[in-house]
């Protein structure tokens, strides 16, 4: 009993000193915390607070009865989703589009960043960076309109060139076999330049002495890229790839909605369009929330699994 009464004040003093040190560190770095405050508030208001809404997936939600008045039905919405005749079609289309994106689009920002990093004239380099960044700021409405202008069978510029060479028009926009490739090409044109920002920042942090040592050893420019630049940005590539795998169940809703038509519906039906059609247009809000919850769970599983595999391979993961 005496030992307890003696150690308890010591433990309290240690906690008090720990809290004082933490508060002193926060006061000392108050400018950094002030910069982080908008991001923290954004996460709290738009990421954590709406988590209560996930309970709608387990309810038969009725707007007139409200959130708490709606009947609790457990996993019925999930079983209905999994037993739906279009579930596996949506699963196939969603994963296929994302696999196309990972294979063909993910490496391109790395390659483009390597090319931009090799430009020695700073003004010319900045001009090129600005040019490749610009498509990112265009809305998908503009991108879809440009696609129709280029590829439609009646007024499309590409089909006019094909017709001028004596061939028949090609149905680029209504051919299901071309739809996934068309979406990937659109995303590549719009987002590849913007994706180079993180890789260029990682390359800027490479120690110049490593390049100097490689030159002394007789390494060519390509060997410097292979043995110095790429190993230096490997952690960044791995982290971005893991985060990208977390969006395997997520497809750009606006892009799909704008490019969709009845002729390609068999390859364009994804979870996002299904949630919009059934949840918003059909008024079944619980179904829409169920789809979003399923996507989130799949993304979480893929992030945890890929991070586990990366750590087992001896690389640094996201945690």
Tens digits of residue pLDDT in 121-166: 889 989 998 999 999 999 999 999 999 999 998 888 898 898 888 8
User: Of 34, 61, 88, which closes a domain?
Assistant: 61
Nearest to 286 by CA among 79, 90, 77, 87: 77
- Same domain? 205 vs 259: yes
CATH at 85: 1.10.3720.10
- pTM: predicted TM-score of the whole model, two decimal places: 0.84
| Average pLDDT estimate for 234-262 | 91
Q: What is the pLDDT of residues 16-72, one digit of tens each?
A: 566 677 778 778 888 888 888 999 999 999 888 888 888 899 998 888 888 788 899
Q: How far apart are CA 295 and CA 291, in angstroms?
A: 6
| Average pLDDT estimate for 197-211 | 91
Please give the sequence-ordered ranges of beta strands (E in DSSP) within the chain, or none if there are none.
59-60, 71-72
> What range does the domain containing 254 cover?
75-312
Q: What is the largest CA-CA distance in the chain?
A: 101
Q: How far apart are CA 295 and CA 127, in angstroms?
A: 39
pLDDT at 96 over 90: yes
Q: How far apart are CA 173 and CA 182, in angstroms?
A: 8
Element (H, E) at 27: helix 2-28
- Same domain? 190 vs 227: yes
Quote the number of domains for the chain: 2
Residue-level pLDDT at 62: 85
What b/e readout covers 71-81, taking b as 16+ CB neighbours within 10 angstroms?
eeeeeebbeeb
| Average pLDDT estimate for 198-206 | 91
Residue 120 lies in a domain: yes
- Same domain? 127 vs 276: yes
Three-state SS at 287: helix
- Same domain? 39 vs 152: no
Residue 143 lies in a domain: yes
Instruction: Average the pLDDT over each of 57-66, 239-248, 304-313 and give the range with the smallest value.
Output: 57-66
Backbone angles phi, psi at 72, to 5 degrees: -80, 125
Q: What is the pLDDT of residues 221-231, one digit of tens each?
A: 899 999 999 99
- Same domain? 89 vs 174: yes
User: Of 38, 61, 84, which closes a domain?
Assistant: 61
Average model confidence (pLDDT) for the chain? 88
Three-state SS at 12: helix
- Same domain? 129 vs 197: yes
Residue 68 lies in a domain: no
- Same domain? 122 vs 38: no
Residue-level pLDDT at 19: 61
Q: How far apart are CA 57 and CA 275, in angstroms?
A: 12
- Same domain? 37 vs 102: no
- Same domain? 137 vs 197: yes
Three-state SS at 173: coil
- Same domain? 169 vs 219: yes
- Same domain? 47 vs 129: no
């Amino acid at each position: 009993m005496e030992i307890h009464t003696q150690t308890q004040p010591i433990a309290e003093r240690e906690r008090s000193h720990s809290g004082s040190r933490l508060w002193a560190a926060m006061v000392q770095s108050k400018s950094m915390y002030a910069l982080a405050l908008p991001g923290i508030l954004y996460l709290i208001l738009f990421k954590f607070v709406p988590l209560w809404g996930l309970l709608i997936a387990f309810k038969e939600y009725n707007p007139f009865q409200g959130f708490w008045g709606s009947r609790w039905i457990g996993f019925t919405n999930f079983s209905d989703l999994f037993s739906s005749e279009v579930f596996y079609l949506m699963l196939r289309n969603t994963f296929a589009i994302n696999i196309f994106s990972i294979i063909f689009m993910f490496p391109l920002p790395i390659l483009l960043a390597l090319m931009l990093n090799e430009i020695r004239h700073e003004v010319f380099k900045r001009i090129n960076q600005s040019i490749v960044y610009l498509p990112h700021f265009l809305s998908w409405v503009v991108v879809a309109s440009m696609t129709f202008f280029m590829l439609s069978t009646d007024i499309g510029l590409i089909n006019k060139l094909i017709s001028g060479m004596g061939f028949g028009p090609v149905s680029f926009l209504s051919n299901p076999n071309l739809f996934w490739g068309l979406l990937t090409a659109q995303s590549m044109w719009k987002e590849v330049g913007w994706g180079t920002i993180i890789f260029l920042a990682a390359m800027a942090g490479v120690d110049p002495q490593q390049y100097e040592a490689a030159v002394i050893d007789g390494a060519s420019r390509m060997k410097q890229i292979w043995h110095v630049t790429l190993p230096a940005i490997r952690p960044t590539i791995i982290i971005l790839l893991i985060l990208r795998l977390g969006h395997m169940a997520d497809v750009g809703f606006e892009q799909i909605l704008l490019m969709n038509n009845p002729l390609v519906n068999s390859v364009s039906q994804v979870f996002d369009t299904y949630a919009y059609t059934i949840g918003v247009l059909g008024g079944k809000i619980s179904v829409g929330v169920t789809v979003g919850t399923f996507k989130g769970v799949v993304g979480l599983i893929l992030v945890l699994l890929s991070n586990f595999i990366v750590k087992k391979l001896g690389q640094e993961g996201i945690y």
